[in-house]
Structure 1
Amino acid sequence: MRRLLPLCALVLAAGCAGMIAGRALGPAGVWEVLHGGGSPLDRHIVLELRLPRTLVALTAGACLGVAGIVLQSALANPLAGPEVTGVAPGAVLGAVLASGAGLAGWRSPGAVVVAAVVGGFAGAGLLWLLAGRERADPLGAAVYGVLVSAVLSGATAMVLLAAPGELGSVVQWLVGSTEGRVMDHWNLLWPWALCWLLAAWALAAPLTLLRCGDDEAAARGLSTGRLRLAALGCAVALTAGAVATVGALGFVGLLVPHLAFALYGADLRTALPGAALTGAAVVGGADAAAQALSRLLTDVLDADRLSVPTGALTTCAGAALLLIVARRIREEETSA
C-alpha cells in the first residue's frame, strides 16, 4: 500500500487547494481559523462553507472513481462508466422526477438518493436489454450506452421544461457542481459512501478473477452472474450517492479507472483504492480550479459573481480521454 502514498498526498493537496481557492478569505485566514482563531465570520466561511464543500467534492470523486472501475471490471468494457452506461443519467432522471413530484428537495438530498438509486438501476437495466449480444463488444456496448444516456438526458430535459420553475434552481446540479454544499450534505454522503466503498472493496478480489474471463472465474467457484449483479448494484449505489449530492459530474467514472489501471495494474485490490484516491484528487482539483476560474472571470468581466460548475471541467477532460481510449482500443483490435 506504500504505492498509494503519492496519491494520498495528491488528495491532500487538492483538498488544501479547495480550502484556499475562495475569494473572501486567503490562505493565511484559513490557516488561522483551522488553528482555532479568526473572527466568527471567518470561522463560518471556513468551517460551514469551504470545509464541507471540499469534503463533499473529495468523497463524491472517490465514489465515482470506484463506481467506474467496478463497472469496467464487471462488464469487461474499458469504455464503461456511470456516465455512458445509463447509470448516471438514470440517476439524474430519477432525482428530477422525485423533485417534480414533490417527494424530494434539492437542498435536502436524502430522498433524492433513493430516487437516484431507482433511476440508476433503470438506466443500467435499459442498456442491458438494448445491447443484447453487443454487450460482449466494448465499442458496440459503448454506442448503446451513449444512446441510452442521450435518451435519459432528453427525458430529463423534457421533465424540466414541463416544470420550468425548477429549471433555474437545478441547472448547475445537472452539470455537476459543489456550489452551496454544506454540512448536511456531508453528513448524508459520508456514511453512504463508506458503506458502499467497503462493499466494493469486498468485491475487489472476485472482480480481479472475473477480468481474467468467465471460464477462469467459474473454475474458481465464482458465480459470474451473481457477481456481476452485486457489482452493478454497488456501482449504482455509489453513483447515486454522488449524483444526489453534487450532480452529474461528467466522465469522472470513465477517466479515473484508466488512470488507476495505468498506475497500479489489473489487480483491483490495489487499483480499486487507487481509483478512490484518484477520483478524489480529480474532483477536488477540478473544484479548486473551478473556484479559481470563477474568480478570474468575475474580475475580467467585471460581473457581480460568476460560478463555473465543477462538472464543466471534468466533462471537458473526460470527453478528450474518451476519444483517446476509443482510438487505442480500435488500434489494438486492428493490430490483433
Structure 2
Amino acid sequence: MSSDTVVPTPAGRRAGRSPRLPAPRSPLPRLVLLLLVVLAVAVADVLAGRAVTPAGVWEVLLGGGDALDRHVVLNLRVPRMLVALVAGACLAVAGLLLQSALRNPLAGPEVTGVTPGAVLGAVVATGFGLADRQSPLAVVVAACLGGLFGAGLLWVLTGRRRDDPTETAVHGVLVSAVLGGLTAMVLLVAPGELGSVVQWLIGTTEGRVWQHWNLLWPWALCWGVAAWLLAGPLTLLRCGEDQAAEAGLDTARARGAALVCAVALAAGAVSTVGALGFVGLLVPHLALALFGADLRITVPGAALAGAAVVGGADALAQVGGRGLAVLWDADRLTLPVGALTTALGAVLLLVVVRRSPARDF
C-alpha cells in the first residue's frame, strides 16, 4: 500500500475519538404524562359517585351547591378519592421494593405474607369488637401489627436461607396460605361479624372519610421517602448479589431495610382499604417497563402508576355499581374496587408468567 493511500473510516468517527452513544431519553416527560393521568383519574373518581350529578359536583368544587351536595362531595367523595390514590401508590411501591429486594418478578405483598397478615389483623380487631368503622386508628394499628407478624413469620421460617430469593418466595406462599386459613378460622368463630370484615378480604374504598385520610397520608409520606432513599442500593441489588457486594453494598442490610419499608407501606394501605388483589404484584412491571431499572426514577413512577390504577378501578367500580343497581333494582348495591383489581390482575398475571416463566430477574 502506498503512503498516499486513504483508508476510509466509519461515518461519524473522528481520529482519536470513540463513537458517540445516543443520549438516554429523559424520564421526565413520562412522569409528567403519568401525573396528568392521575389528575384525570382523580377527577373521574369524584364525578363517578352516586347521589350528586357531575354538574352538581362541579358546582360544589367551584364553591356553590346546597348543603347536602357539599357534604357528599367534600366529606365523602374527595377523601375516598384521595385514599384510593395513596393506597394504590403504597401498594405499588411496596411491590417494587419486594421484587427488587428478593429479585423475583412474582414477589408481591399478596404472596409474601404482608397483605394476608394485615388482613388477619384487621379481621381479628373488627371481628372481636376491638375496632370498628368508627375507630379507624385501631384498625390501622391492628393491620400493621398483622402485616409485621406475617413478614416476621416469613423471616423466621427462611432462617439462614433468607438470602435465597427462591426459598423466600416459596415460604412466602406458604405463610400467606397459613394466614388465610387463620382468617377463615376467625370468621368461623365470629360469623356474625362477616358483613363488617368482608371489606378487608375483598378490598374497598367505600365509606372512607377524612379520618382515614389523615391517618394514611403521614404514614405513606414517611415510608415513601424511605423507599426513595433505598432506591440506589436496590438498583445495585437488582444487578446481582456479587456485583452489588463488589460495589461495596451490604446486601443483607439493604434487603432487610427494603423488606421493612415494603411491609410498612403495604400494611398501611391494607389497613385502610383492605386487600386489593394484584396491585402490588403487577403495577411494578408496568413501572419498570415505562421508566427502566433505575429505581430512583421508577419508585416515584410506580407510585403514580399505582395511584392511577387504583383510582381508575375505583371510578369504574362506582360506575359499575350504579349499572348493577339499575339492572337488579337494588339501590344499595356496590361493586368493591378489590373485585375489579383481582379480576383484571389475574388476567395480566397470566400474561406476565407466560412472557417470563423462567427468566432470572
Query: When the two structures are superposed, what TM-score results if normalisation uses the length of structure 1?
Result: 0.93
| Matched residue, 1:68 | 95
Hey, what does 2:285 align to over in structure 1?
Answer: 258
The partner residue of 2:269 within 223, 226, 242 is 242
Question: Of 198, 202, 210, which residue of structure 2 is paired with 1:183?
Answer: 210
Paired with 2:336 and 2:128, the residues of 1 have a C-alpha distance of 26
Give RMSD over aligned pairs: 1.8
Contact 2:325 2:331 in 1 (8 A): yes
Shift of 1:122: 2.2
Q: Mark the CA change 1:224 to 1:315 in structure 2 (over 3 Å): closer, same or farther.
A: same
Deviation at 1:223, TM superposition (A): 1.4
Does 2:126 match 1:93?
Answer: no
1:206 is matched with which residue? 233
> Which of 321, 339, 342 pairs up with 1:315?
342
Structure (1 or 2) with the greater helix fraction: 1
CA displacement at 1:259 relative to structure 2:
0.3
Residue 110 of structure 2 aligns to a residue in which SS? Answer: coil
Kindly indicate whether residue 297 of structure 2 is the aligned counterpart of residue 270 of structure 1. Answer: yes
SS of 2:109's partner is coil
Question: 1:143, CA displacement in angstroms?
Answer: 4.5
| Structure-2 change in CA distance of 1:202 and 1:27 (3 Å) | same
Q: Deviations over 1:63-118 (max 9, x none)?
A: 00000001100111100100111110011112222334544333322122222222
Matched, 1:18 2:45: yes
Q: Which stretch of the first structure deviates more once superposed, 242-251 or 159-168?
A: 159-168
Give the CA deviation at 1:210: 0.8
Deviates more, 1:213-222 or 1:257-266: 213-222
Amino acid in structure 2 at the alignment position of 1:73: S
Distance 1:327 1:142 in 2: 18
Residue 164 of structure 2 is aligned to residue 136 of structure 1? yes
Alignment CA distance shift 1:331-1:241 (3 Å): closer
* Structure 2 alignment gaps of length 5 or more: 1-27
**Structure 1 unaligned blocks of 5 or more:** none
Q: How far off is 1:220 after superposition?
A: 2.4
Q: Do residues 43 (structure 1) and 88 (structure 2) align?
A: no
Q: Give deviations 1:288-322, integer Å, cap 9, x for gaps.
A: 00000000001011123210100000011222222
Query: Cα distance, 1:130 vs. partner?
Result: 4.2
Identity of aligned residues (%): 70
Cα separation, partners in 2 of 1:135 and 1:166, compared to 1, 3 Å: farther
Corresponding residue SS for 2:63: coil
Distance 2:55 2:140 in 1: 37
Could you tell me how far 1:2 is from its partner in structure 2?
A: 3.1
Q: Quote the Cα distance in structure 1 between the aligned partners of 2:320 and 2:274.
A: 20
Alignment check: 8 A CA contact 1:128 1:135 kept: no
Q: Letter of the aligned partner of 2:70 in structure 1?
A: R
Larger radius of gyration: 2
Farther-moved stretch of structure 1 (321-330 vs 245-254) = 321-330
Which residue identity lines up with residue 293 of structure 1 in the other structure?
A: G
Measured in 2, the distance between the counterparts of 1:137 and 1:228 equals: 11
Q: Distance in 2 between matches of 1:200 and 1:332?
A: 26
Q: Structure 2 CA distance, aligned partners of 1:40 and 1:33?
A: 9
Give the C-alpha shift of residue 147 in structure 1: 2.9
- TM (norm. structure 2) is 0.87
